[in-house]
């Protein structure tokens, strides 16, 4: 075989370096083959051939040229030609720069250079090495990173982008822009390229782009992002999915990271569900936070990934809506509907732990920042009850029982806090559990359990910051164990930090703060801030420590009014008792009393609404002795401010000060006394009413508003205590009784402001103010009578019974009283009715209304009175009809009885017309009694009675007697003249089609009679001859 022609082609791009050799060989006479070899430069090449069997020369040349041309189109270049690619020159590392690096970094950089040229010579791939270089931010890898930005593999290219951003290689922005513009690359890769470009741009350019993003935000979005309490609900409602791109605002908020929207972003990351459609953005933000070293966001997301429950197990199938699919396949989709599976959750929390370990190894300071941000999100609610698991171990052939850790679901948390714990261990599957024989309810061990104790020892201030914001008892125990031995550091802890630690709800932290504070309590300089924090703490030991120091240095403490005020208003008894001892042991000048008094009063005004009464009682005891002179002449503005305080004990304190004041009760401002009367606390109100009761009559007459305030109080005790005061003034001044009676009568007609207020007002009106009721005007009296309030009507009954002449009443008034809901008024009305018989006879139009009432006693009286006291001639037809017109059956029956007893033939037609208008069946039946004898034989009468007749006839299976009478009346009218017959036809014709068969026969009879007598009238009847039926022969 003879080689006639050979072409060697090379291809080099990024980390790819390939060779392609093409041979044209003669194997016989006019017999040729085209062979080729290919592979990575410097490695063993693979063989191939375009001619399995030899071909002639022309065909072989054509195949040879075509293969060369195809490879050149794909980027291959011929060696030695104009387009030849030179042999890659090895990357030269500056030896001086290399010598400056730490040994691990030096080895890493050398491996990176080797991997870029000879990938098989290093154990780790190029992508992993690039990622590690970015993590370490190594200087000297720029050439390899730049070369790798042209890699074909997405994983290598992504690592190169990451490394370029971490290493701050802003001169590679053009290459990054090229990558970002490649449409064939996945979104997660081009997105990271865009983020790195923004990261490497000058600050001015980033600010300009961020300002443009903010300007493009709709006003509704800005308002919603400013409302932190509702931003999560708004975001889920506005961007519900299912396409994750609809919620891209979440990622954009983090990309531009504007300070104004940072709180909203953190709230969204804390509250949005970890799942579709937000999960892709959570993962993107998580990666960018690592790129930026944004430990705050990393810590929050790491906590969310652990605390959130996986949506589905990664193994098996699930049904969503009408779709049934495999979870594992669905989770890989860009628009996954499961998003946060158990495998995803496990990967993320393990990734977080790897990041923490890397930082602990490479940069301990950043590890501490990252870990504290993460731990700061845990609370006591994250603790879960320990669970007991039992399984059979086939290796040992025994049943094994294990107990889970209270933090078994928090992987990173357990590794950070229990890596060296004698209590917990991690299983082979990565689950944290209790060691054999350990009960999770046992007390925590004295020793330390956390991972990387030497790192934590070197960063105590970070632990102080963690304790200030943490709400987890486990975190507090961990941090306090680290801080307790550090006595040198405790001397430089700022006072605000000590105060914050003392204010935590955990005993171990409080004890740590107390130990450090105790070392700092010296009289010079006086530790005012520390003493204030000790008194404000919840631990009794803190109070004892503060009180002991104050008692020991009382001479200095007495010159600190603010400190004395804290003792005065302290919720616990020992500090208040200490204040009393300090004040009693001193002789205080008036000037000093004024200074202390103002401070104490301001402290009282600053108290919360739930202050204990014992605090004010002890303070009053102390001040009434030590500051007696100042309190006797206290400015009344202080009293007003104390009375305006919402706490009842403070108002009581004001009342006590007022009772000891040197100003007489008569000279006190009305608003102060009114405030006392309006107080919520009964003891304060009692103080007010006692002051009002001690006022002389002349003062009470001038300040009747205080009396009105008392008697109208919503509190029963004040109203009842006001009654003797009103009686005393009313006896001395008749005009007061008249005016107060009229005033209270108006309030009786208003809704009650307190329980039994109307009853107390009625008691005052009917008792101390009875003489004033005698002069009550008529309009007010009738308003009381008609009031919807019972006690107002009872007062009206007393006025009528004691002070009213019944001759002033009309019959209408008597009926109104007899119909009243109050028994006393009904009895008074009935008595007036019986007493004035002659007036009743003169006003019978009003009198007949008396039976028409809801009250049985009034109806029985009316029936008896009308039967026994009134003569028959007193009842005119209109009166009888009025009784029959009632809607009450008993009254109608009474009216029917009177009508039949006093009926006069001459009134028959009037009764018929009026009774025919009544809708009830009994009155219509009564009207039919009068129909045949007293109805006029005229067409006009039929028109007038048509509604009545039609109503009776349309009653289904009812009123048989009334119908019989109506049919008889209509039959008689049909025998009259043509006009009456026509009216009867018009009444009967439509009814004949709707009523029962029996009634229809009577209708047909009447209509047939009309047709026979007046054939010229239109008739609804049609006469048909009966059909003739032939008899069929038998058997046919």
Q: What is the DSSP string of 197-259?
A: HHHHS-HHHHHHHHHHHHHHS-HHHHHHHH-TTTHHHHHHHH---SSGGGGTHHHHHHHH--G
The three-state secondary structure class of 804 is coil
End-to-end CA distance of the chain, in Å?
A: 121
Kindly indicate the confidence band of residue 839, based on its pLDDT and cuts at 50, 70 and 90.
confident
What pLDDT, on the 0 to 100 scale, is given for residue 909? Answer: 66
| The pLDDT of residue 125 | 85
User: Across residues 602-625, what is the average pLDDT?
Assistant: 88
Question: With bands split at pLDDT 50, 70 and 90, how would you rate the model's confidence at 97?
Answer: low
Query: In this model, does residue 25 exceed pLDDT 60?
Result: yes
- Give the pLDDT score at 53: 84
Arithmetic mean of pLDDT, 451-461? 96
Distance in angstroms (rounded) separating the CA atoms of residues 661 and 667: 11
> Predicted confidence band at 934 (pLDDT cuts at 50, 70, 90)?
low
Higher pLDDT, 202 or 440: 202
Beta bridge mates, 388: 403
Each residue's pLDDT tens digit, 246-260: 888 999 999 999 999
Taking residue 741's Cβ as centre, other Cβ atoms within 10 Å add up to 24
User: What's the confidence (pLDDT) of residue 318?
Assistant: 83
What's the pLDDT score for residue 661? 82
- Give the fold, CATH level 3, of 110-296: 1.25.10
Range with lowest mean pLDDT among 275-284, 673-682, 814-823, 915-924: 915-924
Question: With 0-12 CB in 10 A as exposed, 13-18 as middle and 19+ as buried, what is 83?
Answer: exposed
Q: Is the pLDDT assigned to residue 83 strictly greater than 50? A: no
Residue 994 reports pLDDT greater than 50: yes
pLDDT of residue 903: 65
Reading the block at residue 692, the tokens are 């009002």
What is the structure's pLDDT at 381?
Answer: 93
Asked whether the predicted pLDDT for residue 84 surpasses 50, the reply is: no
Give me the pLDDT at residue 975, please: 79
Give me 932's structure tokens. Answer: 């045949």
The number of residues making up the chain comes to 1036
Share of the chain above pLDDT 90, in %: 31
Q: What is the dihedral of CA 414, 418, 420, 425, to 10 degrees?
A: -70
Q: Which two tokens stand for residue 733?
A: 């001044």
What contacts 940, CB < 8 A, 6 or more positions away? none
Q: Between these two residues, 379 and 776, which has the higher pLDDT value?
A: 379
Cβ neighbours for 470, distance < 8 A, ≥ 6 positions apart: 375, 376, 378, 476, 479
pLDDT at site 962? 75
- What are the CB-based long-range contacts (under 8 Å, 24+) for 419-422? 419/449, 419/450, 419/451, 419/452, 420/448, 420/449, 420/450, 420/451, 420/453, 421/445, 421/449, 422/447, 422/449
Q: How large a percentage of the chain has pLDDT more than 70?
A: 92
> 590 pLDDT exceeds 90?
no
The answer, yes or no, to whether residue 805 has pLDDT greater than 70, is: yes
Question: Above 80 in pLDDT, residue 961?
Answer: no
Report the sign of the C-alpha dihedral through residues 362, 366, 372, 374, in that order.
negative
With a CB cutoff of 8 Å and minimum separation 6, the contacts of 251 are: 281, 284, 285
- Is 50 exceeded by the pLDDT of residue 85? no
| Residue 931 banded pLDDT, cuts 50, 70, 90 | low
Is residue 339 within 8 A of residue 374, CB to CB? The reply is: no
Average pLDDT, the chain: 85
d(CA 891, CA 506): 81
What is the pLDDT at residue 914?
65
pLDDT the model gives residue 959: 67
Strand-strand pairing, 388-393 and 323-326 = unpaired
Q: What is the pLDDT of residues 777-802, one digit of tens each?
A: 888 888 988 888 888 888 888 888 88
The CA distance from 372 to 376, in Å, is 6
Helix (H) or strand (E) holding 774: none
3-state DSSP assignment of residue 36: strand
* pLDDT for residue 910: 63
CA dist 986 and 39 (Å) reads: 116
Show the 3-state SS of 489-547.
HHCCCCHHHHHHHHCCCCHHHHHHHHHHHHHHCCCCCCCHHHHHHHHHCCCHHHHHHHH
What tokens does 172 get? 């590679």
Residue that wins the pLDDT comparison between 234 and 490: 234
Q: What integer is the mean pLDDT of 238-242?
A: 82
Q: How many CA atoms lie within 13 A of 720 on its CB side?
A: 8
What are the CA-CA distances from residue 467 to residues 298, 419, 834, 857 (Å)? 19, 20, 91, 81
The Cα diameter of the chain in Å comes to 160
Q: What angle do CA 51, 53, 57 make, to 5 degrees?
A: 70
Structure confidence by residue, pLDDT tens digits, 865-892: 888 888 877 777 777 777 777 778 888 7
Residue with tokens 């006393």: 824
pLDDT confidence bin for 365, thresholds 50/70/90: very high
Q: Per-residue b/e over 801-821, b at no fewer than 16 CB within 10 Å?
A: eeebebeebebebbbbbbbbe
Q: Which residue has the higher pLDDT, 349 or 769?
A: 349
**What pLDDT does residue 740 have?**
86
Please state, as a whole number, how many other Cβ atoms lie within 10 Å of the Cβ of residue 199: 17
Query: pLDDT tens digit string along 1009-1028?
Result: 877 788 777 777 777 777 77
Task: Tell me the pTM.
Answer: 0.65
| 732, 713 contact by CB (below 8 A) | no
Please give the Cα distance from 965 to 1002 (Å, whole number): 12
303: nearest Cα among 54, 63, 471 = 471
- C-beta of residue 245 within 8 angstroms of C-beta of residue 279: no
Across the range 492-500, mean pLDDT stands at: 93
By CB neighbour count within 10 A (0-12 exposed, 13-18 middle, 19+ buried), where does 788 fall?
exposed
pLDDT digits (tens, 9 = 90+) for 123-163: 678 889 999 999 999 888 888 899 899 888 899 999 999 99
- In this prediction, residue 256 carries a pLDDT of 92
The reported pLDDT for the residue numbered 387 is: 87
* Angle of CA points 860, 861, 864, to nearest 5°: 85
> What angle is formed at CA 879 by the lines to CA 875 and CA 883, rounded to 5 degrees?
115
Interval 563-576: pLDDT, tens: 999 999 999 999 99
Least confident of 482-496, 561-575, 939-953: 939-953
Position 86 confidence tier, pLDDT thresholds 50, 70, 90: very low
Tell me how far apart the alpha carbons of residues 249 and 25 are, in angstroms, rounded to a whole number.
64
Contact 670, 706 (CB under 8 A): yes
Q: Which among 732, 728, 804 is positioned nearest to 768, based on CA atoms?
A: 728
Which residue did the predictor score with more confidence, 967 or 563?
563
pLDDT number for residue 87: 44
Report the chain's C-alpha Rg in angstroms.
53
721 pLDDT higher than 80: yes
Residue 853: half-sphere exposure toward Cβ, Cα within 13 Å: 24
Give the residue extent of every domain in the chain: 2-78, 110-296, 367-454
pLDDT > 70? residue 996? no
Q: What share of the chain is helix, strand, coil (3-state, %, to 5)?
A: 60, 5, 30
DSSP letter for each residue of 893-920: HHHHHHHHHT--GGGHHHHHHHHTT--S
858 pLDDT more than 80: yes
* CATH superfamily of the 2-78 domain: WGR domain (2.20.140.10)
């Amino acid at each position: 075989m003879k080689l006639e022609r050979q072409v060697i082609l090379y291809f080099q791009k990024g980390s790819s370096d390939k060779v392609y050799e093409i041979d044209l060989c003669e194997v016989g006479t006019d017999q040729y083959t085209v062979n080729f070899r290919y592979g990575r430069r410097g490695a063993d090449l693979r063989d191939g051939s375009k001619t399995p069997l030899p071909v002639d020369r022309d065909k072989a040349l054509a195949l040879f040229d075509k293969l060369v041309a195809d490879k050149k189109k794909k980027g291959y270049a011929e060696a030695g030609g104009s387009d030849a690619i030179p042999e890659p020159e090895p990357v030269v590392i500056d030896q001086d720069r290399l010598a400056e690096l730490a040994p691990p970094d030096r080895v890493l950089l050398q491996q990176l250079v080797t991997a870029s040229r000879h990938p098989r010579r290093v154990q780790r791939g190029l992508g992993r090495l690039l990622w590690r270089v970015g993590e370490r931010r190594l200087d000297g890898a720029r050439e390899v990173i730049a070369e790798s930005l042209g890699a074909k593999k997405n994983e290598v290219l992504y690592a190169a982008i990451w490394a370029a951003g971490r290493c701050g290689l802003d001169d590679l922005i053009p290459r990054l822009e090229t990558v970002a513009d490649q449409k064939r690359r996945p979104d997660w890769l081009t997105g990271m390229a865009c983020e790195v470009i923004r990261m490497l741009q000058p600050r001015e350019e980033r600010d300009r782009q961020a300002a443009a993003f903010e300007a493009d935000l709709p006003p509704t979005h800005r308002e919603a992002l400013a409302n932190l309490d509702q931003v999560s609900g708004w975001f889920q409602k506005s961007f519900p999915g299912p396409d994750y791109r609809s919620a891209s605002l979440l990622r954009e908020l983090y990309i531009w990271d504007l300070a104004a929207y940072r709180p909203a972003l953190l709230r969204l990351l804390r509250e949005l569900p970890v799942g579709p459609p937000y999960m892709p953005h959570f993962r993107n933000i998580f990666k960018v936070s690592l790129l930026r070293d944004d430990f705050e966001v990393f810590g929050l997301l790491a906590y969310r990934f652990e605390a959130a429950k996986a949506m589905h197990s990664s193994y098996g199938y699930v049904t969503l809506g009408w779709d049934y699919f495999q979870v594992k396949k669905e989770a890989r989709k860009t628009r996954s509907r499961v998003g946060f599976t158990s495998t995803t959750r496990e990967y993320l929390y393990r990734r977080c732990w790897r990041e923490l370990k890397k930082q602990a190894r490479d940069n301990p300071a950043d590890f501490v920042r990252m870990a504290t941000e993460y731990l700061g999100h845990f609370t006591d609610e994250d603790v879960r009850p320990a669970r007991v698991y039992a399984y059979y171990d086939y290796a040992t052939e025994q049943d094994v029982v294990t107990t889970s850790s209270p933090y078994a679901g928090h992987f990173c948390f357990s590794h950070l806090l229990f890596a060296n714990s004698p209590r917990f261990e991690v299983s082979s599957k990565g689950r944290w559990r209790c060691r054999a024989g350990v009960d999770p309810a046992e007390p925590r061990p004295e020793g330390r359990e956390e991972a990387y104790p030497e790192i934590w020892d070197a960063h105590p201030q970070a632990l102080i910051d963690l304790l200030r914001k943490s709400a987890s008892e486990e975190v507090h125990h961990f941090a306090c164990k680290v801080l307790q031995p550090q006595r040198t550091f405790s001397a430089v802890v700022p006072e605000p930090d000590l105060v914050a630690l003392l204010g935590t709800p955990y005993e171990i932290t409080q004890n740590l703060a107390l130990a450090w504070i105790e070392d700092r309590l010296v009289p010079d300089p006086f530790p005012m801030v520390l003493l204030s924090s000790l008194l404000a703490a919840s631990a009794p030991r803190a109070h004892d420590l503060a009180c002991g120091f104050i008692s020991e240095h009382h001479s200095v403490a007495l010159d600190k009014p603010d400190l004395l005020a804290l003792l005065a208003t302290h919720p616990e008894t020992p500090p208040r008792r200490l204040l009393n001892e300090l004040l009693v042991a001193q002789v205080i000048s008036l000037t000093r009393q004024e200074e202390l008094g103002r401070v104490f009063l301001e402290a009282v005004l600053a108290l919360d609404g739930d202050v204990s009464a014992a605090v004010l009682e002890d303070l009053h005891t102390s001040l009434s002795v030590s500051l007696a002179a100042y309190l006797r002449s206290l400015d009344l503005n202080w009293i007003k401010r104390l009375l305006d305080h919402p706490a009842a004990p403070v108002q009581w304190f004001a009342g006590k000060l007022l009772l000891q004041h040197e100003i007489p009760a008569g000279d006190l401002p009305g608003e102060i006394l009114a405030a006392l009367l309006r107080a919520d606390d009964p003891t304060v109100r009692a103080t007010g009413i006692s002051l009002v009761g001690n006022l002389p009559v002349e003062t009470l007459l001038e300040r009747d508003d205080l009396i009105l305030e008392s008697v109208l109080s919503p509190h029963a005790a004040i109203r009842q205590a006001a009654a003797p005061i009103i009686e005393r003034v009313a006896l001395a001044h008749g005009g007061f009784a008249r005016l107060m009676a009229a005033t209270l009568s108006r309030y009786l007609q208003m809704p009650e402001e307190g329980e039994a207020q109307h009853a107390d007002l009625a008691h005052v009106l009917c008792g101390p103010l009875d003489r004033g009721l005698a002069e009550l005007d008529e309009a007010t009296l009738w308003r009381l009578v008609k009031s919807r309030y019972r006690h107002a009507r009872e007062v009206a009954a007393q006025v009528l019974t004691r002070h009213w002449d019944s001759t002033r009443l009309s019959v209408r008034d008597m009926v109104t009283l007899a119909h009243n809901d109050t028994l006393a008024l009904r009895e008074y009305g009935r008595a007036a009715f019986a007493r004035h018989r002659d007036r009743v006879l003169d006003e019978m139009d009003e009198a007949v209304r008396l039976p028409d009432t809801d009250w049985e006693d009034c109806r029985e009286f009316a029936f008896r009175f009308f039967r026994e006291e009134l003569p028959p001639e007193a009842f005119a037809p209109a009166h009888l009809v009025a009784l029959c017109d009632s809607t009450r059956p008993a009254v109608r029956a009474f009216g029917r009885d009177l009508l039949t007893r006093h009926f006069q033939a001459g009134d028959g037609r009037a009764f018929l017309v009026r009774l025919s208008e009544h809708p009830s069946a009994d009155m219509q039946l009564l009207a039919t009694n009068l129909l045949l004898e007293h109805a006029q034989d005229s067409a006009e009468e039929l028109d007038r009675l048509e509604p009545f007749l039609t109503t009776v006839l349309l009653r289904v299976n009812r009123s048989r007697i009334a119908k019989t009478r109506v049919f008889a009346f209509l039959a008689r009218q049909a025998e009259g003249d043509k006009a009456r017959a026509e009216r009867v036809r018009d009444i009967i014709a439509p009814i004949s089609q709707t009523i029962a068969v029996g009634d229809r026969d009577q209708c047909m009879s009447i209509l047939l009679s009309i047709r026979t007598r007046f054939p010229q009238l239109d008739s609804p009847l049609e006469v048909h001859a009966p059909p003739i039926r032939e008899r069929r022969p038998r058997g046919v």
